[in-house]
Structure 1
């Protein structure tokens, strides 16, 4: 009796200790740290992982990094509609700071485990601090075998997988006997796609141009709005003036018919006049370079542009000029070739000429006052020839 009483007392005390240690709750053996679990014991590092769906993951499930077991899953609680999983990793194992958590299945019918790997294409960097939490945005759950089989059953039974055979037979019937047409269509499609690919840069440039146009239109939104408000009254004015515009167009048509008739009637004369004008225009074109020089000289007369560039140094120039507009000079120069011209008309002597000293402006003195004798020649020299044939008077009566 004493032995059985001792056994009952030991069981009662053990049960009390277990209940006290588990918070007066018992969720099975997996809720307790099992002996031999990896990552348990002194020196282990504890992390937390937020997972939306843990599937059939249980406590004491293995934690793997690069397919190597480095720890085990601890307590799992619910927080804000997602699971907060405690992860215990054995000492000396470094968990990368950019690691993501994934709940997966070890084999087709195996148990679940938790993976702590870096994303594909990234290099492990840094390390998680003890007690750090991997957030919900960096965790995921792989489909389980049951979910995969149920999805496949939906596709096979409720989907259109059974109709694939019918589709294949119908496509074969549609293409039978039309191989040449299908081959030609494929060739054209290949050419079309090749042409589009060759014009890809232009298409992209056109799209960029449309984008710039859209930006410009967006920047002129106020102007376009004002134009939209202004155009309707202008259209109303055009509607009111439509009878007058129609009448004007009708009269313009009549004028066009009249002009066409006149051109047709005068066509031969017009062509003949243009042909006769051809030599004149050709001659004018021949004297083109000379005409340019004359027009250039007309703006700088009585000097040439070369003289002005070389002689005039400043903004003004002194000029002393005498203009001879006497009747004899006009007859022998400007009026030559007209009815008033006279070739060889006696000229008025200029100052400094010998005949100027005996020249008189009195018409009564013509023929009365003899001209002065020529100067005596020097000894031993022939007498000088007369330097001017200008008479002593201007010949006016």
Structure 2
């Protein structure tokens, strides 16, 4: 092929077989690529490979395909297809129009997210490659999974019963919450000031808790102790009827609580002498020890029993009114 020397063609130019018109002459069109990638120019003896060549559809091929369609029975199939389409779409034009709009929206959305779809497909490809390299591990997992599935199959009844119980529990919980939601909301609203006060306390709250753990003597008490003693001022209020019990000392008697006024034996207890003291003898009464007294324990009164004084010898005593021995 002879080419005008004034035409500059790059080394990677292509060739196409074109036709001037429907029935016109054929010619070869040399086309430069959109972006020149190879350096240099086509020179004498250069060869354009088949990969960079092409041609248009021939008129003979078009008529041959049309003849096959008309003579091979394709028209009858087109008629059947048209009738079925008319029967399917007849009276449903609004629905078809709405479907086409939704399809258009779907296609538009897919087109806008084609990069994300491509990335997802690439991720699936990488996952498939990873699974292919770990085929043995996957097989082991699937093999070990079989006993677990068998166990679940055996416990299918228990699982269903549990799910039914959960459904019942959820119903009861929903009913309970619906019935008590007003009270719950009121409690939460009433709790809001307390929580707000705790939040406003800030760092003072932890310090207060630290002092609370040392109640009633805080850490500051130690700073008031000088040496091995501590001075303390106490205010005590003893209300009427308060009984102060002294500490018990071994060898000393424990005083009994006197009866309240109005109780049985109050008068007798008031007239009874204190332990360790002798009652005054009345005029004309004998001062000798009564015969038959062999113990220093006092005889019990009808309502009050007086304790015997410690250290009194056996058989000693003083007769008093009523035959009582002290």
Instruction: Provide the TM-score with structure 2 as the length reference.
Output: 0.42
Select the structure with the greater relative contact order (CA < 8 A; seq sep ≥ 6).
Answer: 1
Instruction: Provide the TM-score with structure 1 as the length reference.
Output: 0.36
Name whichever structure is richer in strand by fraction: 1
